[in-house]
Amino acid sequence: MGAFPYENRVWDPAELLPRAELVALQTARLAETVRRAATIPFYRDALGRAGVDAGAIRSLDGLRRLPFTHKDDLRANYPLGMLAVPRAQIARIHGSSGTTGRPTFVAYTKGDLETWSGLVARFLVAGGLRSDHFVHVAFGYGLFTGGFGLHYGIERVGAAVVPAAGGNTPRQVMLIRDLGAEVLVCTPSYALHIAEVAREQGLGPGELPLRFGHFGGEPWTEEMRIELERQLGILAFNNYGLSEVIGPGVAGECAARKGMHVQEDHFLVECLDPVTLEPVRDGEVGELVFTSLTKEALPILRYRTRDLASLDRSPCPCGRTGVRMGRVVGRSDDMFIVRGVNVFPSQVEEALLRVEGTAPHYLIEISRPGALDEVVVKVEIRPGDFSDEMRHMIALHERIDREIHAVTGIRMRVELVAPGSIERSAGKARRVVDHRKPA
């Protein structure tokens, strides 16, 4: 285990299943899931429309014939119209915040909760959690799956939970320090805030007892990982999940930290072109689509996450056989099509990161002045990138141009613009303006 910064322990032997055995297990579980789903009116209709006989799914190839499930389907069946078990068997309800409309609820049987805590235990142990650790959980507890999801996974491992929940950051810093928590669980942005407040209190990098951090609930970057590790003196791990699929525990990083192992004995994952819905090649970014294999209360077929990431099927040195998903690099809702090619704002951001180390403010403007689409990327100049020498500025301009072409495959016209000249909206930065669409 010398290749890893700590012992590579595996919580569940199922994580190491050889691929052939895994496929056999998935096939049996998929057939069972489709049968179970067919008892729900929504899926009975959807399977009927797709011309699929619920009893006829006997291989994983059958997956592609199954209908998709969208967020709107859950909304349309509000509050609990997609249960595959009687209401009396429900043991817990969670839900999404409903920031983009009516909230959606998800339900768990006792068996689902057992499965879920086991999945959370897997990624926590893969990321260094041991039964003698104290874990500070700064996720909100409530309908959101983060708090309770992590809580029961930690208990499953036998470690101690400090259920600090959100808010009052100075007090959180005090709790971490005084109780000697080795592990921090929260969103990556909140972890950065904790680090900032700790620094204000005179606690420099590594002066908190923390050694490991498990962060999820929102997309983040490698750059943020480096910052978190430096500022908190920890190893930082990424995990992935969404309530519609189960919650945190769908995928998580191991000690190799080269992508998150999807818990494939419990979920089938597809990576599809969001427009054609055809599979993309491994390593290419597409929309992740999940099918649950063991969920009892709310089986879900081909759930379109809108999350964009790539899959890596190469063997992992940790020995886990689950396919690895990369970081979520964007949402398929933000995608735009230029000259027939799918482009994501995150690709432009990645190109800018390659050139400048950190991504400056940028804006992508798409127009169609003649017959062809034209894309202009406005990039704000920052003091660190600016030189009094013209050749350096021209080289910078050319490098951005080249990287954008390399990442997206599209030629975009790069314009260097003055700092602050790109409009900021409160909170979320606007990245794309498409002049082709009528306003």
Partner 1 sequence: MKIRQLSLFLENRPGQLRVPFKVLGEAGIDVLTMSLADTQQFGILRLVVKDWERAKKVLEAAGSVVNITDVIALDVPDRPGGLAGVLESFDELGLGIEYMYAFAASRERGSHATLLVRLEDPDAAIRQLGSAGVKLVPADELFKRVGA
Q: Which is nearer to partner 1, 59 or 387 (CB)?
A: 387
Tell me how far, at minimum, the Cβ of 396 lies from partner 1, in Å.
Answer: 10
Buried residues in 411-435 as b, exposed as e (16+ CB within 10 A): ebebebbeeeebeeeeeeeebbebe
Strands (E), 27-111: 90-95, 105-109
Q: What is the largest CA-CA distance in the chain?
A: 73
Q: What share of the chain is helix, strand, coil (3-state, %, to 5)?
A: 35, 25, 45
Provide φ and ψ at 196, rounded to 5°: -65, -45
Backbone φ/ψ region at 101: left (φ over 0), alpha (ψ -120 to 50), beta: left
Q: Which is nearer to partner 1, 224 or 376 (CB)?
A: 376
First to last CA, the chain: 58
The contact mask relative to partner 1 for 342-381 (x = CB under 8 A, - = no) is ---------------------------------------x
The stretch near partner 1 (CB under 8 A) out of 22-30, 119-127, 182-190, 411-419 is 411-419
Please report whether residue 97 would count as binding partner 1 according to CB under 8 A.
no
Please report whether residue 388 would count as binding partner 1 according to CB under 8 A.
yes
Interface pick for partner 1 out of 7, 132, 278, 389 (rule CB under 8 A): 389
DSSP state of 327: -
Please report whether residue 59 would count as binding partner 1 according to CB under 8 A.
no
Query: Around Cβ 59, how many Cβ atoms within 10 Å?
Result: 11
Please report whether residue 416 would count as binding partner 1 according to CB under 8 A.
yes
The stretch near partner 1 (CB under 8 A) out of 174-182, 279-287, 316-324, 412-420 is 412-420
Contact of 215 with 192, CB cutoff 8 Å: no
Tell me how far, at minimum, the Cβ of 414 lies from partner 1, in Å.
Answer: 9
Q: Which is nearer to partner 1, 410 or 422 (CB)?
A: 422
* Cross-strand bridge partners of residue 342: 337
Please report whether residue 395 would count as binding partner 1 according to CB under 8 A.
no
Interface pick for partner 1 out of 189, 276, 358, 421 (rule CB under 8 A): 421
Interface pick for partner 1 out of 393, 410, 432, 433 (rule CB under 8 A): 393
List of residues contacting partner 1 (CB under 8 A): 381-383, 386-390, 393-394, 397, 415-421
